């Protein structure tokens, strides 16, 4: 390589690295895991994600040492029956906010291998298009009258939403109609 090509290559790489460094990282707030009942095989995780970047943020998965697997879920009520459907990904548009909360999108910790107590700090890694995001989720007390991740301790249909028993999950191969993210907002709207 000639000295001029070396300088050009150095400049090009420097600009690429500078551009990558300028990409704004997602902002995470309100991360929490409501205290599940003792022996519950599942727990839910909630948080708010703000994407200040000019590119969409795609969340493709999550993991935590407290569970065999962590899935992205959407809760919904269909014909008076509470259902959850695993989501392959969640997209947070540029400048938008996505709130993972009860009754909507949330993290589902499945195959719990740890007993949680109020005040525990749980490490969770979100797999995203911006790279791995390591987040600490505090474990909180139940809300009054709550037993886990349901506000009233029950699903709208049959089953116990705190143990996942009786919950109907969508067939992963079944095609679902596209859903708008009801809790995703864009600044200025």
Model pLDDT for residues 24-53, shown as the tens digit of each residue = 899 999 999 999 998 899 999 999 999 999
Q: In this predicted structure, what is the pLDDT of residue 4? A: 62
The pLDDT-based confidence of 6 (bands split at 50, 70, 90) is low
Q: Would the pLDDT of 62 be above 50?
A: yes
Q: In this predicted structure, what is the pLDDT of residue 141? A: 82
Radius of gyration of the chain (CA): 20
Cβ–Cβ under 8 Å, residues 143 and 102: no
Residue tagged 């969640």 (tokens): 90
Q: Would the pLDDT of 179 be above 80?
A: no
Q: How far is CA 26 from CA 16, 146, 181, in A?
A: 20, 30, 18
Q: How far is CA 86 from CA 29, 37, 122, 127, 167, in A?
A: 23, 22, 22, 15, 12
Indicate the pairing of strand 81-87 with strand 168-169. Answer: parallel
Q: In this predicted structure, what is the pLDDT of residue 38? A: 87
Cβ–Cβ under 8 Å, residues 111 and 68: yes
């Amino acid at each position: 390589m000639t000295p001029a090509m070396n300088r050009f290559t150095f400049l090009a790489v420097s600009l690429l690295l500078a551009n990558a460094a300028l990409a704004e990282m997602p902002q995470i707030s309100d991360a929490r895991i409501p205290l599940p009942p003792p022996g519950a095989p599942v727990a839910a995780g909630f948080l708010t994600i703000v994407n200040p970047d000019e590119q969409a943020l795609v969340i493709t998965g999550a993991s935590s040492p407290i569970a065999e697997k962590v899935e992205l879920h959407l809760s919904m009520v269909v014909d008076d029956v509470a259902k959850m459907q695993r989501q392959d990904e969640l997209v947070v548009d540029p400048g938008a906010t996505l709130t993972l909360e009860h009754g909507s999108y949330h993290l589902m910790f499945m195959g719990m291998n740890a007993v949680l107590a109020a005040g525990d700090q749980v490490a969770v890694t979100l797999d995203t298009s911006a790279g791995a995001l390591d987040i600490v989720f505090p474990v909180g007390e139940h809300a009054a009258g709550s037993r886990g991740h349901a506000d009233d301790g029950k699903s709208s249909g049959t089953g116990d939403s705190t143990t996942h028993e009786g919950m109907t999950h969508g067939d992963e191969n079944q095609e679902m109609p596209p859903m708008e993210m009801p809790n995703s907002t864009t600044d200025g709207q």
